[in-house]
């Protein structure tokens, strides 16, 4: 995602708001992407998963209605199917996901993970 900090953010989520504020307090002015209004494509999701070093199941928001409605708990679903589901129903994406200028990304859950990320990139 290169060059600047980016946060996939949901302004209704207290964890996401905490992480955004923590970035700003650290002097970082990230590009804020409301991923529900600007859903990531399947290609963007794949790149994000690679940058974060996690699998698609790790990025699923298990508390979302889409998780139940789409049967995403089914352990036989492939990475491709999970990624397609998140692209189609972005509320199924866990948040916040933060991208650093060095190309790494991190799902900031628990929210304090943002401090580890900031320390690692300073």
Query: Taking a C-beta distance cutoff of 8 angstroms, is the pair 54, 108 a contact?
Result: no
Q: Say whether 13 is catalytic.
A: yes
Q: CB-based burial of residue 76 (10 Å sphere; 0-12 exposed, 13-18 middle, 19+ buried)?
A: exposed
The one catalytic residue in 13, 32, 77, 113 is: 13
DSSP summary character for residue 30: P
HSE, CB side, 13 Å, CA atoms: give it for residue 96.
Answer: 32
Taking the chain, what is the end-to-end CA distance rounded to the nearest angstrom? 18
Report the catalytic residues.
13
């Amino acid at each position: 995602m290169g060059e600047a900090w980016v946060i996939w953010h949901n302004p209704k989520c207290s964890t996401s708001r905490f992480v955004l504020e923590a970035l700003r307090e650290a002097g970082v002015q990230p590009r804020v992407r409301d991923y529900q209004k600007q859903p990531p494509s399947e290609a963007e999701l794949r790149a994000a998963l690679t940058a974060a070093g996690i699998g698609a199941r790790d990025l699923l928001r298990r508390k979302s209605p889409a998780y139940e409605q789409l049967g995403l708990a089914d352990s036989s679903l492939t990475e491709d199917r999970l990624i397609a589901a998140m692209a189609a129903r972005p509320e199924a994406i866990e948040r916040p996901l933060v991208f650093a200028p060095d190309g790494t990304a991190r799902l900031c859950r628990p929210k304090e993970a943002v401090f580890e990320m900031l320390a690692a990139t300073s």
